[in-house]
Amino acid sequence: MTDLLQLTFSGIATGSIYALAALGFTLLWQASGTINFAQGEFVMLPAFAMLFFAAQGAPLPVAFVLTIAVAVAVLGWAFKRGVVDPLFRHGMMAIVVATIGLSIAMRNGVRIYSADAHPFPSLFADKLLRVGGVTVSLADAGTLAFALVLVVATQAFLARTLTGRAMQAVAQNTESAAVLGINVPLMILYTFAINAVLACAAALLVTPVYFGKFDMGESLGTKAFFAAVIGGFNNSRGALLGGVIVGIGENLAAAYISPAYKDAVALALFMVVILFKPQGLLGRKEERKV
Protein backbone atom coordinates (compact mmCIF):
# COMPACT_ATOMS: atom_id res chain seq x y z
CA MET A 1 0.00 0.00 0.00
CA THR A 2 2.83 2.38 0.88
CA ASP A 3 4.50 1.57 -2.43
CA LEU A 4 1.29 2.33 -4.25
CA LEU A 5 0.95 5.71 -2.53
CA GLN A 6 4.59 6.59 -3.24
CA LEU A 7 4.26 5.59 -6.88
CA THR A 8 1.05 7.58 -7.16
CA PHE A 9 2.58 10.69 -5.65
CA SER A 10 5.62 10.46 -7.86
CA GLY A 11 3.31 9.91 -10.84
CA ILE A 12 1.34 13.03 -9.97
CA ALA A 13 4.59 15.02 -9.84
CA THR A 14 5.69 13.73 -13.27
CA GLY A 15 2.18 14.21 -14.59
CA SER A 16 2.17 17.84 -13.48
CA ILE A 17 5.08 18.47 -15.89
CA TYR A 18 3.12 16.83 -18.70
CA ALA A 19 0.21 19.03 -17.64
CA LEU A 20 2.23 22.21 -18.16
CA ALA A 21 3.02 21.24 -21.75
CA ALA A 22 -0.53 19.93 -22.26
CA LEU A 23 -1.95 23.22 -20.97
CA GLY A 24 -0.04 24.94 -23.76
CA PHE A 25 -1.72 22.63 -26.29
CA THR A 26 -5.19 23.45 -24.99
CA LEU A 27 -4.58 27.21 -24.74
CA LEU A 28 -3.29 27.44 -28.32
CA TRP A 29 -6.14 25.30 -29.58
CA GLN A 30 -8.82 27.33 -27.83
CA ALA A 31 -7.47 30.76 -28.69
CA SER A 32 -6.18 30.24 -32.20
CA GLY A 33 -7.30 26.81 -33.42
CA THR A 34 -3.65 25.80 -33.64
CA ILE A 35 -2.08 22.46 -32.74
CA ASN A 36 1.64 22.80 -32.18
CA PHE A 37 3.38 19.48 -32.73
CA ALA A 38 6.69 21.10 -31.85
CA GLN A 39 5.52 21.50 -28.25
CA GLY A 40 8.13 19.02 -26.97
CA GLU A 41 10.89 20.97 -28.70
CA PHE A 42 9.41 24.14 -27.18
CA VAL A 43 10.46 22.57 -23.87
CA MET A 44 13.83 21.32 -25.13
CA LEU A 45 14.97 24.71 -26.49
CA PRO A 46 14.50 26.62 -23.19
CA ALA A 47 16.43 23.83 -21.45
CA PHE A 48 19.42 24.55 -23.69
CA ALA A 49 18.93 28.30 -23.30
CA MET A 50 19.07 27.92 -19.51
CA LEU A 51 22.19 25.78 -19.85
CA PHE A 52 23.73 28.49 -22.04
CA PHE A 53 22.95 31.29 -19.58
CA ALA A 54 24.14 29.13 -16.67
CA ALA A 55 27.42 28.51 -18.53
CA GLN A 56 27.86 32.31 -18.69
CA GLY A 57 27.69 32.37 -14.90
CA ALA A 58 24.02 33.20 -14.35
CA PRO A 59 22.41 31.55 -11.30
CA LEU A 60 19.54 29.20 -12.20
CA PRO A 61 16.70 31.62 -11.30
CA VAL A 62 18.35 34.37 -13.39
CA ALA A 63 18.90 31.96 -16.27
CA PHE A 64 15.22 30.99 -16.00
CA VAL A 65 14.01 34.60 -16.20
CA LEU A 66 16.35 35.40 -19.12
CA THR A 67 15.14 32.26 -20.90
CA ILE A 68 11.52 33.29 -20.43
CA ALA A 69 12.27 36.65 -22.10
CA VAL A 70 13.94 34.93 -25.07
CA ALA A 71 11.25 32.24 -25.29
CA VAL A 72 8.39 34.76 -25.32
CA ALA A 73 10.11 36.52 -28.22
CA VAL A 74 11.13 33.42 -30.19
CA LEU A 75 8.62 30.67 -29.28
CA GLY A 76 5.79 33.15 -28.77
CA TRP A 77 5.99 36.15 -31.10
CA ALA A 78 8.31 34.82 -33.85
CA PHE A 79 6.54 31.42 -33.97
CA LYS A 80 3.15 33.08 -34.34
CA ARG A 81 4.27 35.65 -36.90
CA GLY A 82 6.61 33.39 -38.84
CA VAL A 83 4.76 30.06 -38.88
CA VAL A 84 1.16 30.28 -37.69
CA ASP A 85 -0.01 33.59 -39.23
CA PRO A 86 1.15 32.88 -42.82
CA LEU A 87 -0.28 29.34 -42.75
CA PHE A 88 -3.51 30.00 -40.87
CA ARG A 89 -5.60 30.68 -43.99
CA HIS A 90 -4.43 27.35 -45.46
CA GLY A 91 -6.11 25.43 -42.65
CA MET A 92 -5.19 23.20 -39.77
CA MET A 93 -3.34 20.58 -41.82
CA ALA A 94 -0.79 23.10 -43.05
CA ILE A 95 -0.01 24.14 -39.47
CA VAL A 96 0.20 20.52 -38.31
CA VAL A 97 2.68 19.63 -41.08
CA ALA A 98 4.66 22.83 -40.52
CA THR A 99 4.98 22.27 -36.75
CA ILE A 100 6.04 18.64 -37.30
CA GLY A 101 8.68 19.96 -39.69
CA LEU A 102 9.65 22.64 -37.19
CA SER A 103 10.10 20.04 -34.46
CA ILE A 104 12.45 18.01 -36.69
CA ALA A 105 14.39 21.15 -37.62
CA MET A 106 14.70 22.29 -33.99
CA ARG A 107 15.79 18.84 -32.83
CA ASN A 108 18.44 18.47 -35.48
CA GLY A 109 19.52 22.08 -35.22
CA VAL A 110 20.31 21.55 -31.53
CA ARG A 111 21.90 18.21 -32.36
CA ILE A 112 24.45 20.07 -34.53
CA TYR A 113 25.19 22.28 -31.52
CA SER A 114 25.50 19.31 -29.18
CA ALA A 115 24.39 15.68 -29.29
CA ASP A 116 25.40 15.05 -25.66
CA ALA A 117 23.16 14.76 -22.64
CA HIS A 118 23.84 17.75 -20.37
CA PRO A 119 23.31 17.49 -16.61
CA PHE A 120 20.97 20.18 -15.35
CA PRO A 121 20.79 21.55 -11.80
CA SER A 122 17.62 20.88 -9.85
CA LEU A 123 15.65 23.61 -8.12
CA PHE A 124 15.19 21.30 -5.17
CA ALA A 125 17.66 19.64 -2.78
CA ASP A 126 18.14 15.88 -2.98
CA LYS A 127 16.15 15.10 0.17
CA LEU A 128 13.44 12.69 1.20
CA LEU A 129 10.36 13.69 3.16
CA ARG A 130 8.11 11.46 5.27
CA VAL A 131 4.47 12.40 4.89
CA GLY A 132 2.03 10.20 6.83
CA GLY A 133 4.18 7.10 6.49
CA VAL A 134 4.87 7.70 2.82
CA THR A 135 8.35 8.69 1.65
CA VAL A 136 8.40 11.29 -1.08
CA SER A 137 11.32 13.12 -2.58
CA LEU A 138 11.57 16.87 -2.11
CA ALA A 139 12.07 17.09 -5.90
CA ASP A 140 8.69 15.42 -6.53
CA ALA A 141 6.93 17.55 -3.93
CA GLY A 142 8.58 20.72 -5.21
CA THR A 143 7.85 19.88 -8.85
CA LEU A 144 4.20 19.27 -8.02
CA ALA A 145 3.92 22.49 -6.00
CA PHE A 146 5.68 24.57 -8.68
CA ALA A 147 3.53 23.16 -11.49
CA LEU A 148 0.34 23.59 -9.48
CA VAL A 149 1.16 27.21 -8.71
CA LEU A 150 1.71 27.84 -12.44
CA VAL A 151 -1.49 26.09 -13.49
CA VAL A 152 -3.54 27.90 -10.83
CA ALA A 153 -1.90 31.24 -11.73
CA THR A 154 -2.69 30.68 -15.40
CA GLN A 155 -6.29 29.81 -14.57
CA ALA A 156 -6.59 32.84 -12.27
CA PHE A 157 -5.16 35.12 -14.95
CA LEU A 158 -7.68 33.80 -17.48
CA ALA A 159 -10.64 33.99 -15.10
CA ARG A 160 -9.93 37.01 -12.93
CA THR A 161 -8.36 39.70 -15.09
CA LEU A 162 -9.73 41.85 -17.88
CA THR A 163 -7.17 40.50 -20.32
CA GLY A 164 -7.77 36.92 -19.27
CA ARG A 165 -11.47 37.27 -19.87
CA ALA A 166 -10.84 38.89 -23.23
CA MET A 167 -8.66 35.88 -24.11
CA GLN A 168 -11.51 33.57 -23.11
CA ALA A 169 -13.89 35.59 -25.26
CA VAL A 170 -11.56 35.23 -28.26
CA ALA A 171 -11.34 31.49 -27.61
CA GLN A 172 -15.13 31.17 -27.54
CA ASN A 173 -16.13 33.46 -30.41
CA THR A 174 -13.48 35.33 -32.37
CA GLU A 175 -15.84 37.29 -34.62
CA SER A 176 -17.98 38.56 -31.78
CA ALA A 177 -14.90 39.44 -29.72
CA ALA A 178 -13.54 41.60 -32.55
CA VAL A 179 -16.83 43.44 -32.93
CA LEU A 180 -16.88 44.13 -29.19
CA GLY A 181 -13.55 45.92 -29.49
CA ILE A 182 -11.28 43.14 -28.25
CA ASN A 183 -7.89 43.16 -29.94
CA VAL A 184 -8.03 39.59 -31.22
CA PRO A 185 -4.47 39.34 -32.68
CA LEU A 186 -3.03 40.70 -29.41
CA MET A 187 -5.01 38.21 -27.29
CA ILE A 188 -3.80 35.36 -29.51
CA LEU A 189 -0.23 36.63 -29.16
CA TYR A 190 -0.65 36.60 -25.36
CA THR A 191 -1.71 32.95 -25.61
CA PHE A 192 1.45 32.08 -27.52
CA ALA A 193 3.49 34.01 -24.93
CA ILE A 194 1.86 32.10 -22.06
CA ASN A 195 2.58 28.85 -23.88
CA ALA A 196 6.24 29.87 -24.12
CA VAL A 197 6.38 30.62 -20.38
CA LEU A 198 4.78 27.27 -19.52
CA ALA A 199 7.29 25.52 -21.79
CA CYS A 200 10.16 27.22 -19.92
CA ALA A 201 8.69 26.09 -16.59
CA ALA A 202 8.32 22.53 -17.88
CA ALA A 203 11.96 22.64 -19.04
CA LEU A 204 13.08 23.84 -15.61
CA LEU A 205 11.27 20.95 -13.92
CA VAL A 206 11.88 18.10 -16.34
CA THR A 207 15.48 18.65 -17.44
CA PRO A 208 17.10 17.70 -14.09
CA VAL A 209 15.46 14.27 -14.52
CA TYR A 210 15.96 13.64 -18.25
CA PHE A 211 19.08 15.86 -18.81
CA GLY A 212 19.33 18.45 -21.54
CA LYS A 213 19.43 16.54 -24.81
CA PHE A 214 18.36 17.38 -28.35
CA ASP A 215 15.68 14.66 -28.36
CA MET A 216 14.34 15.21 -24.83
CA GLY A 217 11.20 16.91 -26.17
CA GLU A 218 10.17 14.07 -28.46
CA SER A 219 8.59 11.86 -25.84
CA LEU A 220 7.46 14.77 -23.65
CA GLY A 221 5.62 16.44 -26.54
CA THR A 222 3.85 13.23 -27.50
CA LYS A 223 2.78 12.49 -23.93
CA ALA A 224 1.60 16.06 -23.42
CA PHE A 225 -0.47 15.78 -26.59
CA PHE A 226 -2.01 12.52 -25.37
CA ALA A 227 -2.63 14.10 -21.94
CA ALA A 228 -4.42 17.06 -23.57
CA VAL A 229 -6.63 14.73 -25.62
CA ILE A 230 -7.36 12.50 -22.61
CA GLY A 231 -8.35 15.46 -20.43
CA GLY A 232 -10.20 17.29 -23.19
CA PHE A 233 -8.52 19.46 -25.79
CA ASN A 234 -10.90 22.36 -25.26
CA ASN A 235 -10.62 22.44 -21.47
CA SER A 236 -7.60 23.81 -19.60
CA ARG A 237 -8.46 21.86 -16.45
CA GLY A 238 -8.61 18.77 -18.64
CA ALA A 239 -4.93 19.27 -19.46
CA LEU A 240 -4.10 19.05 -15.76
CA LEU A 241 -6.23 15.95 -15.27
CA GLY A 242 -4.86 14.29 -18.42
CA GLY A 243 -1.26 14.99 -17.39
CA VAL A 244 -1.78 13.55 -13.92
CA ILE A 245 -3.54 10.44 -15.29
CA VAL A 246 -0.69 9.77 -17.73
CA GLY A 247 1.93 10.36 -15.02
CA ILE A 248 0.29 8.00 -12.52
CA GLY A 249 -0.47 5.40 -15.20
CA GLU A 250 3.15 5.36 -16.36
CA ASN A 251 4.51 4.91 -12.85
CA LEU A 252 2.10 2.12 -11.96
CA ALA A 253 2.67 0.30 -15.26
CA ALA A 254 6.44 0.50 -14.81
CA ALA A 255 6.18 -0.90 -11.27
CA TYR A 256 3.46 -3.54 -11.63
CA ILE A 257 3.68 -4.62 -15.29
CA SER A 258 7.07 -3.86 -16.79
CA PRO A 259 9.21 -0.73 -17.27
CA ALA A 260 9.25 -1.67 -20.96
CA TYR A 261 5.53 -0.82 -21.19
CA LYS A 262 5.82 2.51 -19.38
CA ASP A 263 5.75 4.62 -22.52
CA ALA A 264 2.83 2.65 -23.97
CA VAL A 265 0.48 3.72 -21.17
CA ALA A 266 -0.21 7.21 -22.53
CA LEU A 267 -0.93 5.76 -25.98
CA ALA A 268 -3.25 3.08 -24.56
CA LEU A 269 -5.18 5.63 -22.47
CA PHE A 270 -5.34 7.95 -25.49
CA MET A 271 -6.84 5.18 -27.64
CA VAL A 272 -9.43 4.24 -25.02
CA VAL A 273 -10.52 7.86 -24.60
CA ILE A 274 -10.66 8.48 -28.37
CA LEU A 275 -12.84 5.37 -28.76
CA PHE A 276 -15.28 5.95 -25.91
CA LYS A 277 -15.19 9.70 -25.12
CA PRO A 278 -13.56 11.45 -28.04
CA GLN A 279 -14.10 14.92 -26.56
CA GLY A 280 -11.91 13.89 -23.58
CA LEU A 281 -12.80 13.42 -19.92
CA LEU A 282 -13.59 17.09 -19.24
CA GLY A 283 -13.94 18.32 -22.82
CA ARG A 284 -17.08 19.49 -24.57
CA LYS A 285 -18.39 18.29 -27.89
CA GLU A 286 -17.74 20.95 -30.51
CA GLU A 287 -19.56 21.60 -33.73
CA ARG A 288 -17.63 23.10 -36.58
CA LYS A 289 -18.72 24.20 -40.00
CA VAL A 290 -17.01 22.33 -42.83
Partner 1 sequence: MSAPLLEVTDLRKSYGAIRAVAGVSFEVRPGEIFGVIGPNGSGKTTMFNSVLGQIAPDAGAIRLKGADITGLSPLALNRRGVGRTFQTLQVFGRMSVRDNLLVAAQEHRGSMFSRMFAAPDSGLGARADALIDLFRIGHVADKPAGSLSYGQQKLVDIAMAFMSEPDLVLLDEPCAGVNPSLVGEIAALLRELNRSRGGSFVVIEHNMDFVMGLCHRVMVMVEGEVLAIGTPDAIRADRRVLDAYLGN
Binding interface with partner 1 (CB under 8 A): 157, 159-166, 168-169, 172-173, 175-176, 178-184, 186
Distance separating alpha carbons of residues 176 and 39, to the nearest angstrom: 29
Residue 208 CB, nearest approach to partner 1 (Å): 31
First to last CA, the chain: 51
Q: Judged by CB, which is closer to partner 1: 52, or 157? A: 157
Q: Is 41 helix (H, G, I), strand (E, B) or coil?
A: helix
* Residues near 151 by beta carbon (within 8 Å), at least 6 away in sequence: 16, 19, 20, 23, 240
Asked if residues 35 and 100 have their Cβ atoms less than 8 Å apart, the reply is no
Distance separating alpha carbons of residues 67 and 49, to the nearest angstrom: 6
Q: Judged by CB, which is closer to partner 1: 179, or 290? A: 179
Residue 282 CB, nearest approach to partner 1 (Å): 13
Residue 84 CB, nearest approach to partner 1 (Å): 20
Asked if residues 229 and 270 have their Cβ atoms less than 8 Å apart, the reply is yes
* H or E stretch covering 93: helix 92-113
User: Angle, to 10 degrees, between the axis of helix 2-32 and the axis of helix 39-55?
Assistant: 100
Distance separating alpha carbons of residues 165 and 182, to the nearest angstrom: 10
Q: Judged by CB, which is closer to partner 1: 184, or 274? A: 184
* Residues near 63 by beta carbon (within 8 Å), at least 6 away in sequence: 49, 50, 53, 54
Residue 276 CB, nearest approach to partner 1 (Å): 24
Q: Judged by CB, which is closer to partner 1: 122, or 163? A: 163
Residue 19 CB, nearest approach to partner 1 (Å): 21
Q: Judged by CB, which is closer to partner 1: 8, or 174? A: 174
Give CA angle at 120 (115, 125), nearest 5°: 160
Residue 87 CB, nearest approach to partner 1 (Å): 22
Asked if residues 195 and 235 have their Cβ atoms less than 8 Å apart, the reply is no
Q: Judged by CB, which is closer to partner 1: 48, or 190? A: 190
Q: Judged by CB, which is closer to partner 1: 102, or 282? A: 282
Residue 162 CB, nearest approach to partner 1 (Å): 4
